[in-house]
C-alpha cells in the first residue's frame, strides 16, 4: 500500500525516519483532496443535468438549509482540517526538535555551492556524507543570500539564512545517494546549486571520517562522486593567506617575525599580547577575531591605534580562515613563550 | 460660541482642556523618560502615548461623538497592528536561538562549544563574523 | 461647494457622510502604513536593546520635546479652526490654519537641524554609519528605523501642510459656514493623524 | 425600453448549445440609441471621463493587456522548460521571465482586474446609483495604475528584475537588475488599489438605492466590500516594505541587512502580511462573480445568502492572521508555525461554506447551460482542488517537503488560473452583453471554454506531481527525471494559449459583429440588468427602488424590470 501510493503520487523513496512518518498523512491529505474536488465538482455537474431548465420561464423557490446541514457544512471541513493540523503539527514538532545527541555538521551555502564541514574533520563541497541510523544535525548559514537545503528523499527542507544559524536534523534510514537541491531562489545559478547526500553504513562512515582526519585522502565507498572534492583543514590556511593578501594585511603585518607597522603574525597564536593600558591577554582565537573586527578595543603596546576595522568587510568564513592561517605561522621555537614581537 | 454648527462637536473649552492634558502628559513622559526606569520605561511610555493618542482621536478627531464605520475602521486597524506585532514577536522570541540575528558573534551561545579554538586542530566550519 | 452636491449623491448630507467616511478609511490605511515601521522598531529593539538605548541617548531630546509641543499645539489650533469654520468665523479659521502651518514649518526646520547633526556625526543607517563612539551591535539598525520613521513622518507633515494650505483658501474667501466645513474637517483629520504618529515616535525614539 | 421584450424567450431548453448561433435572445432587439459608449466619442472624452462604466472599460483594456503580457511571459517560461537544456533564454533571462510573469499577473492583472472592470461597471448599477461615491478619485486610481504600470514597463524594457515576485532580501538588495523601478511601480499601483477599495466601501455605505438594505445587497457587492477592506488595510504594509526594499537598493540603507544584524525574515513577515491577504484580494471578487453567475444561470436565488455574505467577511478578516504559512521553513519559530497553521485552517472552512452554498444553489434550480456556467463548472472542481491543496500545504509537516517546489506552483495556479481566471472568464461572458450591448457566439464560447479547461488540467496537474518528485520552483534547468512531466505541462500551456486567443478573437469580433443583445439577454434578475444594455450615461432613467433580494426567481423576470 505504501509503495503503491508513493508511486501513484510520484514521491521519491523514503530514506529518513521523518519521510516514513509524514508520508502517511500525505496520502490521506491528497486522497481527501482528490475526493472532495471530484465530489463537489461532480455534484455540480449532476445538478446541471438533473435540474436543467425544462419549461420556458420556469420559476424556482428559495431552498432553506436545515440546521443539521448547516452544522455539517461547517463541521465536516473544520474537523477534517483540524485533524490534519493536529497530526501535521505534531510531526512538525518532531521535525524541529533534534534529539539530544546528534552528529553535527556545519553547512554553508553561498552562490552557488554547498560546503559541508565536520567538526574536527574534513570539509567538502557539494557532497554531504552522513551515517545511516544516527541522528544528524545540520547547522547552516549562508555567506550571501538566502538558500535552502532540500533533500526530497528525506522530505526535509530548511532555509539557510545569512547572519544566523538554522538547524535541520534527520536520521537517514537507507544507505544510498540522494539529490540535494537549493530551493530558495538565490540568483542566476539557483537551479544548479545542487548537491548530493551520501548515506553510508555507520562503520564505513567512521572509517572514512578517521581517514579524512588523519589527512589521508580516501574515498571509502568505491565509486567516486562526480564533482566531489574532499578537502583538508589545511585548505583553510591557504585560503587565509589568500585573504590576507587580498585585504592588504601585509601592508602592516609580516609573517617572518619582524615587526612592521603592526606586530608580526609569526608565533602570534598563543603568545601573550601586552596592551597600551597595561593589561594583557593570551592571543587565542577569540582575541584574533576581535583584533580584526574591533582593533581599537585592545591596542598592542608599542603600536599606533591605526589598524582599520574589518567588521563588515570580512565574511565569517574568511575570518575563520585568517585565524587558521595565523595559527599556522609557527617558528621553531616552542609556542606560547610570549616572545617579543 | 454658539453651537449651531450641526457637527462641530465639542466646544473650544473642551479642546483647551484636551490640549492642556496633552501638554501635561508630554511633560510626564519626558520626565519619566529621563528617570531610567529600566524595564518599566517602555510600557509606561506606551501607556502615556496611547492615552495621548486616545485623547486626540476622541476629541480632536471627534471619534467620541462618532458611531459606526470610522470607529470600526480604527478598531480593526488597531487589532491588525496588535496581531502583526504579536505574531512577529511570537516568531523572534521563540525561534531556534541561533537563528536570531543578535546571536551571531555570541560564541558562547553555540551548542558545540566555542566555534573557534576547541583544540589544536581547529575546525573548518564557517565562523560567524563578530558584529 | 456651499449647499450644492454632486449629482450622484441624493443630497448634501450623504455627500458629507461619504467624504468623512472616505477620510477615515484613508486614515486607517495610513495607520497601517506606520504599523509596519512600528513592528520593525519593536522587533529590532527586542533584538538589540543596547543599540536602541544608546541611540536614543544620543538624541537631542529637547528638540524632540519642542517638536512634540509644537505639533500638539498645532493640532489644537486646527481643532479650533474646524470649530470656527463651523461657526462661520472665517477670519479666525484662516489665522488658526496659518498658525498650524507655521508650526509645521517650525517642526520641519527642527527636524532638518537634527538631520544635519546626524549627518555630521555619522549617525546614519547601514554602511553609512561612521560614528566612532557608538559600538552597540545593531546600532546602525536603530538609525535605519529612525530615518525611515521620521522621514516618512516628515513626508506626511509636508502633505498635511499642503492640505491645511488648501483648506485655508475657502477660509480666506469666507466660504465656510454651518454645514459646510468638509475641507477643513478632512484636512484637520489628516493633520491630527500626523500628530498622532509623532506622539508615538517621540517617546520611542527619543526617550526609552 | 419594453420590459416585455426581454430575452426570456432565449432560455428554452431545447436550444442546441453547440450550434454556434447566438440564439440567446429573440432577434429584432434594437441597439439603444443613446448609451454610455456613444456619449462622446473623442479620445479626450475617454481620457477625462469620470463615468464609472468608461473607467471600467479603460481597466478592461489595460488589465487584458497585462494578462496578454503575463501570458506571453508564461509561455516563454514553459518553452524554456520543455527540456533541461537552454532552449530560449539563458539563466538570467529565465529568472527575469518568471519574475515579470508573477509581477505582471499579480499586480497588474489579477488584483486590479475584477474590481477594476466588473466592480467599477456593475457596483453602481447593482446599487441603483448613478456612479461611485468619488468619480474623480476613481479616474485618478486608473491613472495611478497606469503610472505604476509604466514604471514597471520601463524597467522591463531596460532589463527587468530577477528576484521573483516576492522580492526577498538580501537577494533583492544585491541583484544588479532593475529592482527599484519595479518596486516603485508596485508601490504606486498599490495606491490605485487603495483608492479603488476606499471608493467601493464608501459607495456601498452611502449610495445604496431606496430599499436596498445590507441583506439585499448583491453578493458581488459583498465580495467587493470584503476585498476593499483588505485592499485598504493590507496594501499600506506592502507599500512600506516595498519602499524599504527600494531604499535599501538605492541608498544601501537596508533595513533587513543581515551583515548589520538586520533580519531578512522580518521582510518576509511584512511582505506576507500583505501578500497573503492579497490572494484574497484576487479571489474574493472572483467568488462574487461566481455567486452572481450561479444564480443567474441556475435561475435560483442563492442557497444561504447570509452564510455566503458572512463567509466573505470571515475570509477577509481571518485572512489577515495566516501570513506565516508561507514561512514554515524560513527559521520561523515552531510556536508561530502552530499558530499560523491553526488559523489557516479556519480560512479553509469559510471558503468551504461558500463552495457548498454554490452547489446548493444549483439544487432544484432551472439551470441554463451557457458558457459562463461551463467556466463555473471548471471553477468548482479547481477551487476545491486548489483550495484543498492550499490547506494541504498549510499542514505544517507536509509543507516541509512541498515548500518552494512545483507543488506550490500548481496550488496557486489552480486557484489563480483554475478558479480566479475561470471566474473572470465567466464574468466576462456573462456581462459582455451588459457592457457592450452585443452577445458573443455561444458555440465558440463553449469550444474555447472546453479547450481552456482541458489545457489547464494538462498544464498544472503534472506540476503537482513534479512537486511531489521534488522539483524546486524557479528552476531554469532541472534533473533528467523531471523531463516528461515538464513536456506535458508545456503541451497543456499551448492548449491554454490557443483557448485564450480564441476567446480574445471572438470577443473582439463580437464587439461590432455580435447580435444585439437587448437589455437582458439572460433573463437575469440581478439588479444590474434593470437598465438597458449598454447602459445610459447616467445609468437609469428613473431611480430604481428595491423590493426584494436580487436573483429572486420565484416570480417571472418581467416583474423585476423597469427602465
Ligand atoms: C488567489 C490566490 C490564492 C488563494 C485563494 C489561496 C488560498 C489558500 N492558500 Fe495559497 N498561495 C497562493 C495563492 C492563493 N492561495 C500563492 C500565489 C502562493 C505562492 C506564493 C509564492 O510563494 O510565490 C500560495 C502559497 C500558499 C502556501 C505556502 C506554500 C509554500 O510556499 O510552502 C500556503 C500554505 O499554507 C497556502 C495555503 C492556502 C490556503 C489554506 C488557502 C485557502 O484559502 C483555501 C481555501 C479553500 C478551500 C479549503 C476549498 C474549499 C473546501 C471545500 C469545498 C471543503 C471540502 C470538504 C471536505 C474537507 C470534506 N498557499
Ligand atoms: C494571476 C496570476 C497568474 C496567472 C494567470 C498565471 C498563468 C500561467 N502561469 Fe504562472 N505564476 C504566477 C501567477 C500566474 N500565472 C505567479 C505569481 C508565479 C510565481 C512567480 C515567481 O516565482 O516569482 C508564477 C509562476 C509560474 C511558473 C513557475 C516558474 C518557476 O518557478 O520557474 C510557471 C511554470 O510553468 C507558470 C506558468 C503559467 C502558465 C502556463 C500560465 C497560463 O495559465 C497562462 C495562460 C495565459 C495566456 C497564454 C495569456 C493569453 C491571453 C490572451 C491571449 C488575451 C486574451 C484576451 C481575452 C481573454 C479577452 N507560472
Ligand atoms: Cu541557493 Cu537557490
Ligand atoms: Cu497565503
- Residues D457-477: tens digit of each pLDDT: 999 999 999 999 999 999 999
pLDDT interval class at D101 (50, 70, 90): very high
> So what's the pLDDT on residue D558?
62
More confident residue, C7 or B27: B27
A61-70, C98-107, D416-425: least confident range: A61-70
More confident residue, C106 or B14: C106
pLDDT interval class at B107 (50, 70, 90): very low
Q: Which three cell numbers stand for residue A107?
A: 553547512
Q: What pLDDT, in 10s, does the model give residues D128-158?
A: 999 999 999 999 999 999 999 998 989 888 8
In sequence order, the 6+-apart residues with CB closer than 8 A to the CB of D177 are D96, D159, D160, D161, D162, D163
Mutate to test the interface with B, among D313, D323, D333 (most CBs of B within 10 A): D333
A119-128, A312-321, C92-101, D69-78: least confident range: A312-321
> So what's the pLDDT on residue A118?
80
Q: Which residue has the cell 608599542?
A: A302
Closest CA to D55 of D147, D146, D126, D138: D138
In sequence order, the 6+-apart residues with CB closer than 8 A to the CB of D70 are D100, D101, D104, D105, D108, D109
Q: What pLDDT, in 10s, does the model give residues D39-70?
A: 888 888 888 888 999 999 999 999 999 999 99
Q: Average of pLDDT values for D169-174? A: 86
More confident residue, C8 or D550: D550
Question: How confident is the prediction for chain A on average, in pLDDT?
Answer: 83
- Three-state secondary structure call for residue A291: helix
Say whether the peptide bond before residue D170 is cis (omega within 30 degrees of 0): yes
Burial of D137 (C-beta count, 10 Å sphere; 0-12/13-18/19+): middle
In sequence order, the 6+-apart residues with CB closer than 8 A to the CB of C109 are none
Q: Which three cell numbers stand for residue D59?
A: 481597466
Q: What pLDDT, in 10s, does the model give residues B73-105?
A: 888 999 999 999 999 999 988 888 878 877 654
Asked if the model's pLDDT at residue A322 lies above 90, the reply is: no
Q: Average of pLDDT values for A90-106? A: 90
Task: Give the length of chain D.
Answer: 563
User: How far apart (Å, rounded) are the C-alpha atoms in residues C36 and D240?
Assistant: 7
Q: Is B114 in Cβ contact with A117 (below 8 Å)?
A: no
pLDDT interval class at A314 (50, 70, 90): confident
Asked if the model's pLDDT at residue A274 lies above 70, the reply is: yes
Q: Are D50 and D139 within 8 A, CB to CB?
A: yes
Asked if the model's pLDDT at residue A174 lies above 80, the reply is: yes
Q: What pLDDT, in 10s, does the model give residues C30-80?
A: 999 999 899 999 999 998 888 888 888 888 888 999 999 999 999 999 999
Closest CA to B103 of A163, D266, A119: A163
Q: Which three cell numbers stand for residue D118?
A: 466588473
User: How far apart (Å, rounded) are the C-alpha atoms in residues C205 and C61?
Assistant: 9
DSSP secondary structure letter of residue D419: I
> So what's the pLDDT on residue C53?
86
Q: Using a CB–CB cutoff of 8 Å, tell me whether D236 touches chain B.
A: no
pLDDT interval class at B9 (50, 70, 90): low
Q: Is D205 in Cβ contact with B95 (below 8 Å)?
A: no
Q: Using a CB–CB cutoff of 8 Å, tell me whether D258 touches chain B.
A: yes
Q: Mind telling me how many Å the CA of A288 is from chain D's nearest CA? A: 20
Asked if the model's pLDDT at residue D30 lies above 90, the reply is: no
Helix, strand, coil % in chain D, rounded to nearest 5: 70, 0, 30
Half-sphere exposure of C160 (CA within 13 A, CB side): 33
Q: Average of pLDDT values for D425-441? A: 95
pLDDT interval class at D185 (50, 70, 90): very high
> So what's the pLDDT on residue B36?
75
Mutate to test the interface with C, among B61, B90, B104 (most CBs of C within 10 A): B61
pLDDT interval class at C7 (50, 70, 90): confident
A123-125: strand order across its sheet: A166-171, A135-142, A103-110, A113-117, A123-125, A229-231
A163: region left, alpha or beta (phi > 0 left; psi from -120 to 50 alpha): left
Asked if the model's pLDDT at residue D7 lies above 50, the reply is: no
Is residue D326 within 6 Å of ligand 1 at its C-beta? yes
pLDDT interval class at B115 (50, 70, 90): very low
E strand or H helix at A20? helix A17-50
> So what's the pLDDT on residue A235?
60
> So what's the pLDDT on residue A312?
65
Q: Are D15 and D23 within 8 A, CB to CB?
A: yes
More confident residue, C8 or A68: A68
- Three-state secondary structure call for residue C118: helix
Asked if the model's pLDDT at residue A107 lies above 80, the reply is: yes
> So what's the pLDDT on residue A214?
64
Torsion sign across C-alpha atoms D352, D356, D361, D362: positive
Which residue is closest to D243 within chain C, CA to CA?
C148
- Three-state secondary structure call for residue C9: coil
In sequence order, the 6+-apart residues with CB closer than 8 A to the CB of C48 are B102, C136, C137, C138, C139, C141, C142, D261
DSSP secondary structure letter of residue D17: G
Q: Mind telling me how many Å the CA of C27 is from chain D's nearest CA? A: 10
Phi and psi angles of residue B39, each rounded to the nearest 5 degrees, phi first: -65, -20
Q: Average of pLDDT values for D292-298? A: 94
User: How far apart (Å, rounded) are the C-alpha atoms in residues C70 and C48?
Assistant: 31
Q: What pLDDT, in 10s, does the model give residues D328-352?
A: 999 999 999 999 999 999 999 999 9
For β-strands A123-125 and A113-117, DSSP reports them as antiparallel
Q: Using a CB–CB cutoff of 8 Å, tell me whether D483 touches chain A.
A: no
> How much is the pTM?
0.84
Q: Are C184 and C95 within 8 A, CB to CB?
A: no
Q: Mind telling me how many Å the CA of D511 is from chain C's nearest CA? A: 29
DSSP D339-355: HHHHHHHHHHHHHHHHH
E strand or H helix at A192? none
Q: Average of pLDDT values for C141-166? A: 93
Closest CA to A102 of A25, A168, A40, A51: A168
A104-113, A179-188, D281-290: least confident range: A104-113
Asked if the model's pLDDT at residue A155 lies above 50, the reply is: yes
Q: Are B90 and D333 within 8 A, CB to CB?
A: yes
> So what's the pLDDT on residue A337?
37
Q: Average of pLDDT values for D380-398? A: 95
User: How far apart (Å, rounded) are the C-alpha atoms in residues D242 and D187?
Assistant: 7
CB atoms within 10 A of CB B89: 16
Closest CA to C95 of C80, C105, C109: C80
Q: Average of pLDDT values for B41-56? A: 87
Q: What pLDDT, in 10s, does the model give residues D189-210?
A: 999 999 999 999 999 999 999 9
User: How far apart (Å, rounded) are the C-alpha atoms in residues D270 and D265?
Assistant: 9
Burial of B13 (C-beta count, 10 Å sphere; 0-12/13-18/19+): exposed
Asked if the model's pLDDT at residue B30 lies above 90, the reply is: no
Question: How confident is the prediction for chain D on average, in pLDDT?
Answer: 89
A147-151: strand order across its sheet: A127-131, A195-200, A176-182, A147-151, A156-160
* Among the partner residues C18, C35, C148, nearest to D237 by beta-carbon distance: C35
Phi and psi angles of residue C65, each rounded to the nearest 5 degrees, phi first: -60, -45
Burial of A228 (C-beta count, 10 Å sphere; 0-12/13-18/19+): middle
> So what's the pLDDT on residue D300?
92
User: How far apart (Å, rounded) are the C-alpha atoms in residues A229 and A9?
Assistant: 35
Q: Using a CB–CB cutoff of 8 Å, tell me whether B91 touches chain D.
A: yes
End-to-end CA distance of chain C: 47
In sequence order, the 6+-apart residues with CB closer than 8 A to the CB of C35 are B77, B80, B81, B84, D236, D237
> So what's the pLDDT on residue A231?
39
Asked if the model's pLDDT at residue D324 lies above 80, the reply is: yes
User: How far apart (Å, rounded) are the C-alpha atoms in residues D131 and D6?
Assistant: 25
> So what's the pLDDT on residue D73?
95
* Among the partner residues A51, A74, A91, nearest to D349 by beta-carbon distance: A74
Q: Are D415 and D279 within 8 A, CB to CB?
A: yes
Residue with CA at minimum distance from ligand 1 atom 48: D348
In sequence order, the 6+-apart residues with CB closer than 8 A to the CB of A205 are A129, A130, A131, A132
H-assigned helices in D38-119? 43-47, 52-80, 91-103, 111-114
> So what's the pLDDT on residue A315?
67
For β-strands A166-171 and A135-142, DSSP reports them as antiparallel
Greatest distance between any 2 Cα atoms in chain B: 88
Task: Give the length of chain B.
Answer: 131
Q: Mind telling me how many Å the CA of A230 is from chain B's nearest CA? A: 12
Mutate to test the interface with C, among D132, D202, D267, D535 (most CBs of C within 10 A): D202
In sequence order, the 6+-apart residues with CB closer than 8 A to the CB of C94 are C168, C171, C172
Q: Which three cell numbers stand for residue A30?
A: 491528497
HEC secondary structure over D304-338: CHHHHHHHHHHHHHHHHHCHHHHCCCCCCCHHHHH
pLDDT interval class at B15 (50, 70, 90): confident
> So what's the pLDDT on residue D41?
80
Q: Which three cell numbers stand for residue B6?
A: 450641526
User: How far apart (Å, rounded) are the C-alpha atoms in residues D340 and D273?
Assistant: 12
- Three-state secondary structure call for residue A182: strand
Task: Give the length of chain A.
Answer: 341
Q: What is each CA distance from B86 to B79, C43, D321, in whole angstroms?
A: 10, 10, 11
> So what's the pLDDT on residue B10?
63
Q: Using a CB–CB cutoff of 8 Å, tell me whether B31 touches chain C.
A: no
pLDDT interval class at D9 (50, 70, 90): very low
Q: Which three cell numbers stand for residue D536?
A: 445610459
DSSP A73-118: HHHHHHHHHHHHHHHHHHHHHHHH---SS-EEEEEEEETTEEEEE-
Q: Average of pLDDT values for C128-157? A: 85
User: How far apart (Å, rounded) are the C-alpha atoms in residues A188 and A112?
Assistant: 9
Q: Is B83 in Cβ contact with D205 (below 8 Å)?
A: no
For residue A191, how far is the Cα from the chain centroid?
17
The percent of residues above 90 in pLDDT, for chain A, comes to 39
Q: Are C136 and C51 within 8 A, CB to CB?
A: yes
Question: How confident is the prediction for chain C on average, in pLDDT?
Answer: 87
Amino acid at each position: 500500500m505504501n509503495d503503491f501510493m508513493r508511486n501513484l503520487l510520484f514521491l521519491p523513496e523514503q530514506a529518513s525516519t521523518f519521510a516514513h512518518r509524514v508520508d502517511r498523512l500525505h496520502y490521506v491529505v491528497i486522497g481527501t483532496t482528490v475526493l472532495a474536488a471530484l465530489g463537489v465538482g461532480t455534484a455540480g455537474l449532476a445538478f446541471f443535468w438533473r435540474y436543467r431548465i425544462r419549461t420556458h420561464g420556469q420559476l424556482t423557490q428559495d431552498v432553506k438549509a436545515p440546521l443539521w446541514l448547516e452544522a455539517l457544512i461547517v463541521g465536516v471541513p473544520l474537523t477534517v482540517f483540524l485533524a490534519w493540523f493536529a497530526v501535521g503539527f505534531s510531526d512538525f514538532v518532531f521535525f524541529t526538535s533534534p534529539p539530544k545527541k546528534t552528529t553535527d555538521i556545519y553547512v554553508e551555502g553561498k552562490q552557488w555551492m554547498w560546503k559541508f564541514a565536520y567538526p574536527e574533520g574534513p570539509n567538502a563541497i557539494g557532497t554531504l556524507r552522513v551515517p545511516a541510523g544516527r541522528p544528524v544535525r545540520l547547522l547552516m548559514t549562508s555567506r550571501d543570500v538566502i538558500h535552502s537545503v532540500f533533500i526530497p528523499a528525506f522530505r526535509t527542507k530548511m532555509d539557510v539564512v545569512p547572519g544566523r544559524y538554522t538547524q535541520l536534523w534527520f536520521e537517514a534510514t537507507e544507505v544510498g545517494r540522494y539529490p540535494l537541491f537549493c530551493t530558495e531562489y538565490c540568483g542566476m545559478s539557483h537551479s544548479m546549486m545542487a548537491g548530493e547526500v551520501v548515506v553510508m553504513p555507520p562503520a564505513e562512515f567512521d572509517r572514512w571520517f578517521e581517514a579524512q582526519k588523519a589527512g589521508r585522502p580516501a574515498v571509502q565507498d568505491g565509486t567516486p562522486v562526480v564533482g566531489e572534492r574532499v578537502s583538508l583543514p589545511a585548505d583553510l590556511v591557504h585560503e587565509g593567506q589568500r585573504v590576507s593578501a587580498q585585504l592588504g594585511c601585509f601592508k602592516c603585518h609580516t609573517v617572518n617575525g619582524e615587526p612592521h607597522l603592526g606586530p608580526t603574525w609569526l608565533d602570534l597564536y598563543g603568545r601573550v599580547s601586552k596592551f597600551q593600558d597595561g593589561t594583557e591577554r593570551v592571543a587565542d582565537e577569540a582575541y584574533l577575531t576581535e583584533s580584526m573586527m574591533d582593533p581599537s578595543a585592545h591596542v598592542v603596546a608599542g603600536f599606533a591605534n591605526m589598524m582599520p576595522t574589518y567588521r563588515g568587510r570580512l565574511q565569517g568564513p574568511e575570518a575563520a580562515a585568517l585565524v587558521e592561517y595565523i595559527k599556522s605561522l609557527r617558528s621553531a621555537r616552542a609556542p606560547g613563550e610570549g616572545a617579543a614581537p | 460660541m454658539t453651537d449651531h454648527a450641526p457637527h462641530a462637536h465639542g466646544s473650544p473649552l473642551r479642546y483647551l482642556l484636551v490640549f492642556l492634558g496633552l501638554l501635561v502628559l508630554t511633560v510626564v513622559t519626558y520626565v519619566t523618560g529621563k528617570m531610567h526606569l529600566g524595564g518599566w520605561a517602555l510600557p509606561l511610555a506606551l501607556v502615556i502615548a496611547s492615552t495621548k493618542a486616545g485623547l486626540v482621536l476622541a476629541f480632536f478627531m471627534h471619534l467620541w461623538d462618532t458611531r459606526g464605520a470610522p470607529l470600526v475602521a480604527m478598531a480593526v486597524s488597531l487589532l491588525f497592528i496588535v496581531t502583526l506585532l504579536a505574531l512577529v514577536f511570537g516568531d523572534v522570541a521563540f525561534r531556534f536561538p541561533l537563528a536570531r540575528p543578535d546571536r551571531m558573534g555570541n560564541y558562547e551561545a553555540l551548542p558545540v562549544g566555542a566555534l573557534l579554538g576547541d583544540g589544536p586542530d581547529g575546525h573548518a566550519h564557517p565562523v560567524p563574523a563578530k558584529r | 461647494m456651499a449647499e450644492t452636491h454632486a449629482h450622484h449623491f441624493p443630497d448634501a448630507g450623504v455627500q458629507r457622510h461619504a467624504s468623512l467616511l472616505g477620510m477615515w478609511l484613508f486614515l486607517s490605511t495610513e495607520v497601517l502604513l506606520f504599523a509596519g515601521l512600528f513592528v520593525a522598531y519593536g522587533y529590532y529593539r527586542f533584538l538589540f536593546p543596547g543599540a536602541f538605548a544608546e541611540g536614543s541617548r544620543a538624541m537631542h531630546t529637547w528638540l524632540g520635546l519642542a517638536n512634540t509641543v509644537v505639533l500638539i499645539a498645532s493640532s489644537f489650533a486646527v481643532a479650533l479652526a474646524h470649530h470656527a469654520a463651523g461657526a462661520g468665523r472665517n477670519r479666525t479659521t484662516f489665522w488658526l490654519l496659518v498658525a498650524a502651518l507655521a508650526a509645521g514649518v517650525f517642526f520641519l526646520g527642527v527636524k532638518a537641524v537634527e538631520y544635519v547633526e546626524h549627518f555630521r556625526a555619522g549617525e546614519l543607517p547601514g554602511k553609512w554609519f561612521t560614528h566612532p563612539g557608538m559600538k552597540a551591535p545593531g546600532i546602525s539598525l536603530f538609525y535605519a528605523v529612525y530615518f525611515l520613521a521620521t522621514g516618512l513622518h516628515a513626508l506626511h507633515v509636508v502633505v498635511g501642510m499642503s492640505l491645511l494650505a488648501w483648506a485655508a483658501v475657502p477660509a480666506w474667501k469666507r466660504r465656510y459656514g454651518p454645514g459646510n466645513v468638509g475641507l477643513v474637517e478632512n484636512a484637520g483629520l489628516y493633520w491630527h493623524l500626523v500628530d498622532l504618529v509623532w506622539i508615538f515616535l517621540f517617546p520611542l525614539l527619543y526617550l526609552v | 425600453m419594453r420590459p416585455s421584450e426581454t430575452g426570456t424567450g432565449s432560455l428554452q431548453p431545447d436550444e442546441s448549445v453547440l450550434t454556434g448561433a447566438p440564439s440567446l435572445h429573440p432577434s429584432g432587439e434594437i441597439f439603444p440609441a443613446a448609451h454610455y459608449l456613444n456619449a462622446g466619442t473623442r479620445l479626450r472624452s475617454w481620457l477625462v471621463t469620470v463615468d464609472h462604466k468608461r473607467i471600467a472599460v479603460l481597466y478592461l483594456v489595460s488589465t487584458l493587456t497585462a494578462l496578454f503580457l503575463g501570458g506571453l511571459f508564461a509561455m516563454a517560461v514553459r518553452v524554456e522548460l520543455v527540456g533541461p537544456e537552454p532552449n530560449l533564454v539563458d539563466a538570467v533571462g529565465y529568472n527575469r521571465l518568471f519574475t515579470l510573469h508573477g509581477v505582471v499577473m499579480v499586480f497588474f492583472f489579477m488584483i486590479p482586474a475584477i474590481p477594476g472592470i466588473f466592480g467599477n461597471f456593475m457596483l453602481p448599477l447593482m446599487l441603483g446609483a448613478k456612479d461611485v461615491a468619488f468619480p474623480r478619485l476613481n479616474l485618478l486610481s486608473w491613472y495611478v495604475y497606469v503610472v505604476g504600470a509604466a514604471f514597471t514597463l520601463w524597467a522591463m524594457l531596460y532589463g527587468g528584475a530577477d528576484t521573483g515576485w516576492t522580492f526577498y532580501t538580501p537577494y533583492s538588495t544585491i541583484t544588479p537588475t532593475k529592482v527599484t523601478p519595479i518596486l516603485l511601480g508596485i508601490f504606486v499601483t498599490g495606491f490605485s488599489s487603495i483608492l479603488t477599495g476606499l471608493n467601493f466601501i464608501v459607495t456601498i455605505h452611502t449610495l445604496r438605492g431606496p430599499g436596498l438594505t445590507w441583506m439585499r445587497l448583491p453578493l458581488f457587492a459583498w465580495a467587493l466590500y470584503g476585498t476593499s477592506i483588505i485592499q485598504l488595510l493590507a496594501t499600506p504594509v506592502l507599500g512600506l516594505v516595498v519602499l524599504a526594499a527600494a531604499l535599501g537598493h538605492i541608498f544601501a540603507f537596508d533595513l533587513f541587512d543581515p551583515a548589520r544584524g538586520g533580519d531578512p525574515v522580518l521582510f518576509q513577515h511584512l511582505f506576507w502580511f500583505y501578500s497573503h491577504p492579497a490572494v484574497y484580494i484576487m479571489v474574493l471578487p472572483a467568488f462574487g462573480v461566481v455567486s452572481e453567475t450561479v444564480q443567474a444561470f441556475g435561475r435560483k436565488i442563492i442557497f444561504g445568502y447570509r452564510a455566503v455574505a458572512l463567509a466573505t467577511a470571515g475570509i477577509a478578516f481571518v485572512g489577515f492572521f495566516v501570513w506565516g504559512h508561507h514561512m514554515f521553513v524560513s527559521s520561523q519559530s515552531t510556536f508561530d508555525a502552530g499558530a499560523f497553521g491553526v488559523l489557516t485552517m479556519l480560512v479553509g472552512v469559510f471558503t468551504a461554506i461558500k463552495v457548498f452554498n454554490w452547489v446548493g444553489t444549483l439544487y432544484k434550480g432551472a439551470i441554463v447551460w451557457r458558457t459562463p456556467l461551463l467556466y463555473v463548472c471548471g471553477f468548482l472542481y479547481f477551487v476545491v482542488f486548489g483550495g484543498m491543496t492550499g490547506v494541504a500545504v498549510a499542514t505544517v509537516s507536509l509543507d516541509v517537503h512541498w515548500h518552494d517546489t512545483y507543488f506550490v506552483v500548481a496550488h496557486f495556479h489552480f486557484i489563480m488560473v483554475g478558479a480566479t481566471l475561470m471566474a473572470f472568464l465567466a464574468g466576462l461572458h456573462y456581462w459582455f452583453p451588459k457592457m457592450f450591448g452585443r452577445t458573443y457566439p455561444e458555440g465558440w464560447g463553449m469550444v474555447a471554454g472546453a479547450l481552456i479547461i482541458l489545457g489547464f488540467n494538462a498544464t498544472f496537474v503534472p506540476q503537482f506531481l513534479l512537486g511531489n518528485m521534488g522539483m524546486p520552483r524557479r528552476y531554469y534547468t532541472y534533473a533528467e527525471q523531471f523531463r516528461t512531466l515538464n513536456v506535458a505541462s508545456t503541451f497543456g500551456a499551448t492548449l491554454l494559449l490557443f483557448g485564450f486567443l480564441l476567446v480574445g478573437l471572438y470577443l473582439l469580433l463580437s464587439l461590432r459583429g455580435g447580435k444585439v443583445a437587448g437589455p437582458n439577454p439572460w433573463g437575469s434578475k440581478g439588479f444590474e440588468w434593470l437598465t438597458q444594455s449598454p447602459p445610459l450615461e447616467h445609468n437609469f432613467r428613473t431611480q430604481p427602488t428595491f423590493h426584494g433580494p436580487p436573483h429572486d426567481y420565484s416570480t417571472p423576470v418581467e416583474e423585476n424590470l423597469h427602465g
